[in-house]
Chains A and B, each alone.
Chain A
């Protein structure tokens, strides 16, 4: 505490142009500043919370097999189980309707509770809750794999092109342009058609190989400006190699751009997977994904709409949350963005004593 005070005094000696504005960032590292701004972003923090809860909820629901080990899930059905089709409580002529109830018994409902099949059952009686959980697992996995592969590739291609410029840049960027001209949905459908049976991981890997283009352009642009900064010259004069300059000096400064666009890439990935599965080229039965569920039951929209609603609800929640987080990150990394202050804050703010030199 004493130390910090000391610093403020020394900095006050020749504080410079933005001395007052710098008060907000005094004694914090760059990472801490970004974190502080991110925490202030309510939407992003809320979404982060939602995503975290959702992941724990979704991944712990069903039995997970890791090699020979089996971790039991908390939900009493699995996707392979075939319980009897129920018609209790359903409207006339319908079977497998959802048992979830959110209306308390005082208001004439059945009380808050999940019931036997909260999301209902599908045509052959499989528990739809288990199916949606498995679908959400698949979608999230696709999202992370595409984010990781696309992010890595995009960063590498972009930094090499931006740092070396010249013919390296020309070749890499024309290659990028070429990849951009192939619509991802076509690549996905070709891959899905031939290798769909190899599993969702394989599909995600392939999609990742084509998802890096936008990121690489952004990273290249960032590198082009950063490499002209004087600290790069200073590092070169100090004897740093190209590799060191790229990874130690420039990349950490570009990390904001990378994190933000990878997040947005991930929210795009989840929709891509859904779209592909809907078209029948992504995840194939007997495996399950949210898009596949929607596509399988699109005909039942009028009669059994819950088969449509629940997977849709999960898609929207995940995609929106990731988008919000990306938005919050972008704001946090933008140094120019200043918060608007509310009227209440204006009034409750403390007044700093008018010190300084004596008159």
Chain B
């Protein structure tokens, strides 16, 4: 019988907004024993992060909590500040989503680990340094002797997350709260971090409260799962139970929305291989360089890149962050200048086009950006944002324009009355629909979608992808779909291109790439994707570890 680390009972959190208490977490119950992993899953806004912060009273002052939170039989709710300080970091440690903002940029990682240690233990600087070094070695940061004196910005994203784990583990906490620990990381790095967390948990016998929206990660880690929606725990059970015999309709819906690699039906190319039509987008031998700025030397982001996209097909472009995929997308519609090579859109060369040439080309292209919050002007009503390309191309104005905007809103399944709303009044998924409506305003031949779903929840993402497929089948535009998520690309794409460090490493039919990858990197990328099925994920994990050895 292992020791009980955390016991939450009848836990409620409300937020005060404008004279009203809005509930964020409602009647939550949870028990967690040492050495076990419990995952809280749910969409954004379901109250999972609020729960995590509420445990140790880390919420903003407009929150109120009731119920009971016991860490090792000690009540944490309404505890004195000194008690909380004693437990924070010592018994309950946090790993946050974004290591760049969670680590203090002006201190070395060694200093930050030592600070945690010396806050809780009577320890001299030399002793603390030795222990910090030990921790950094434990989380597999390369060259620990050197890395201990590095600042957060000198480390890569994965290393930063490791440093944060090292800091969290400094005092051998009984409970580790990991709030979306791998969401900001690439799949291959994510797999490594999850391996590390699993290994450390077994070694130190800590309990982990894992908060995530990624069912694949949950399948990989969790013993028990808690599904939340709008603050209510809708289902609570073992991993096997939730994945294989979900009871609540919401859980079933959530699982159904998760894209699974290699499960969608084959999509037929809209043209025959022997008789190819004229390419909509043709990149030949393209090299893109970010020019040198001051003492920072020039950086080659994309090297000798070749890709052709034909009418009516969707090409998925995948790769890790920093591989140059967004750069390709931006250059393809003339937002970035290229250094050498040739870009053609519908037969027109735009490699060295002037502003004026680009203006005429832009009627044939549209782009959907990654972050819907930043890609819509916050001070323009969305009707105006959607209508702008039409207005500027002098196709219509006044009542005609209004009519076209209404048609576009219908197309993306938004109510017509939304044209007078501002972006901040819309949810993420709705904003991204507006983004598509704007990109399709001029009925382009080529649509570039730059990670359009990375900021969306799974169920919203599923709806968005359905809409995109439907529109593509109706309007027959060619699409370059840029994503880091292989499962998403799998659903949409006819063909897939894989990029690494600015180079095209593999390109071909969807099935050819996903089922029979030739390139090592592609193979690694595919094996790192977690599958939302605990049993299968265990097999895949073992296979991946074998591949590594």
Interface residues of chain A, those whose CB is within 8 Å of chain B, are 3, 7, 10-11, 13-30, 229-231, 233-240, 244, 248-249, 252-253, 338, 340-341, 345-346, 348-352, 354-357, 359
The segment out of B155-163, B165-173, B301-309, B362-370 that lies at the interface is B362-370
| A239 partner residues in chain B, CB cutoff 8 A | 359, 362-363, 389, 392-393
Specify which of A19, A238, A350, A352 is in contact with B388 (CB 8 Å cutoff): A238
| A19 partner residues in chain B, CB cutoff 8 A | 45, 427
Closest to A33 in B: B424
Q: Which of B19, B370, B422 has the most CB of A within 10 A?
A: B422
How far does the Cβ of B429 sit from chain A's closest Cβ, in whole Å?
5
**Docked-complex contact A240 and B388, CB < 8 angstroms:** yes
Tell me whether B438 is interfacial, beta carbon within 8 Å.
Answer: yes
| A354 partner residues in chain B, CB cutoff 8 A | 23, 26, 231-232
| A11 partner residues in chain B, CB cutoff 8 A | 425-427, 430
**Docked-complex contact B427 and A25, CB < 8 angstroms:** no
| A7 partner residues in chain B, CB cutoff 8 A | 425
Task: Render B57-70 as a binary contact track against A, CB cut-off 8 A, 1 for contact.
Answer: 00011101000000
| B379 partner residues in chain A, CB cutoff 8 A | 30, 252-253
**Docked-complex contact B61 and A341, CB < 8 angstroms:** yes
Specify which of B18, B232, B366, B376 is in contact with A359 (CB 8 Å cutoff): B232
How far does the Cβ of B94 sit from chain A's closest Cβ, in whole Å?
18
**Docked-complex contact A348 and B19, CB < 8 angstroms:** yes
- Nearest 9 A/B pairs, CB to CB: A356-B230, A230-B375, A238-B389, A252-B379, A239-B392, A19-B45, A231-B377, A230-B369, A17-B44
Specify which of A233, A248, A350, A355 is in contact with B369 (CB 8 Å cutoff): A233
Q: List 9 A-B contacts (CB under 8 A).
A: A7-B425, A11-B427, A20-B24, A22-B424, A234-B369, A238-B441, A239-B363, A346-B16, A350-B19
Q: Give complex CA distance A25, B23 in Å.
A: 18
| B422 partner residues in chain A, CB cutoff 8 A | 29-30
| A355 partner residues in chain B, CB cutoff 8 A | 230
How far does the Cβ of A316 sit from chain B's closest Cβ, in whole Å?
35
Q: Give complex CA distance A51, B24 in Å.
A: 43
Total number of B residues with any Cβ neighbor in A under 8 Å: 66
Closest to A230 in B: B375
Query: With contacts A252-B379, A356-B230, A357-B229 known, is A16 near B44, CB below 8 A?
Result: yes
How far does the Cβ of B248 sit from chain A's closest Cβ, in whole Å?
8
| B17 partner residues in chain A, CB cutoff 8 A | 20-21, 23-24
Tell me whether B21 is interfacial, beta carbon within 8 Å.
Answer: yes
**Docked-complex contact B21 and A350, CB < 8 angstroms:** yes
| A233 partner residues in chain B, CB cutoff 8 A | 330, 335, 367, 369, 375
How far does the Cβ of B404 sit from chain A's closest Cβ, in whole Å?
14
Q: Give complex CA distance A3, B44 in Å.
A: 26
Interface residues of chain B, those whose CB is within 8 Å of chain A, are 14-24, 26, 43-45, 60-62, 64, 229-234, 250, 330, 333, 335, 359, 362-363, 365-367, 369-371, 374-380, 385, 388-389, 392-393, 415, 417, 422, 424-430, 435, 438, 441, 457, 459-460
Q: Give complex CA distance A260, B172 in Å.
A: 50
**Docked-complex contact A30 and B424, CB < 8 angstroms:** yes
How far does the Cβ of B233 sit from chain A's closest Cβ, in whole Å?
8
**Docked-complex contact A352 and B231, CB < 8 angstroms:** no
**Docked-complex contact B457 and A249, CB < 8 angstroms:** no
**Docked-complex contact A352 and B23, CB < 8 angstroms:** yes
| A10 partner residues in chain B, CB cutoff 8 A | 415
**Docked-complex contact A351 and B21, CB < 8 angstroms:** yes
**Docked-complex contact B438 and A238, CB < 8 angstroms:** yes
**Docked-complex contact A236 and B19, CB < 8 angstroms:** no
Q: Give complex CA distance A72, B160 in Å.
A: 74
List 7 other contacts, CB 8 Å, given A230-B369, A233-B369. Answer: A20-B22, A234-B375, A235-B377, A238-B438, A240-B388, A348-B19, A357-B229
Closest to A36 in B: B18
How far does the Cβ of B485 sit from chain A's closest Cβ, in whole Å?
18
Query: With contacts A234-B375, A349-B20 known, is A356 near B231, CB below 8 A?
Result: yes
| B19 partner residues in chain A, CB cutoff 8 A | 345, 348-350
| A249 partner residues in chain B, CB cutoff 8 A | 377, 380
| B359 partner residues in chain A, CB cutoff 8 A | 239
How far does the Cβ of B346 sit from chain A's closest Cβ, in whole Å?
16
How far does the Cβ of B328 sit from chain A's closest Cβ, in whole Å?
15
Q: Give complex CA distance A239, B429 in Å.
A: 25
Specify which of B16, B231, B425, B438 is in contact with A341 (CB 8 Å cutoff): B16
Closest to A353 in B: B23
**Docked-complex contact B429 and A234, CB < 8 angstroms:** no
| A18 partner residues in chain B, CB cutoff 8 A | 45
| B415 partner residues in chain A, CB cutoff 8 A | 10
Q: Give complex CA distance A338, B426 in Å.
A: 21
**Docked-complex contact B377 and A236, CB < 8 angstroms:** no
Query: With contacts A231-B375, A235-B377, A239-B393 known, is A26 near B425, CB below 8 A?
Result: yes
Closest to B393 in A: A239
**Docked-complex contact A14 and B460, CB < 8 angstroms:** yes
**Docked-complex contact B14 and A351, CB < 8 angstroms:** yes
Specify which of B18, B45, B62 is in contact with A15 (CB 8 Å cutoff): B45
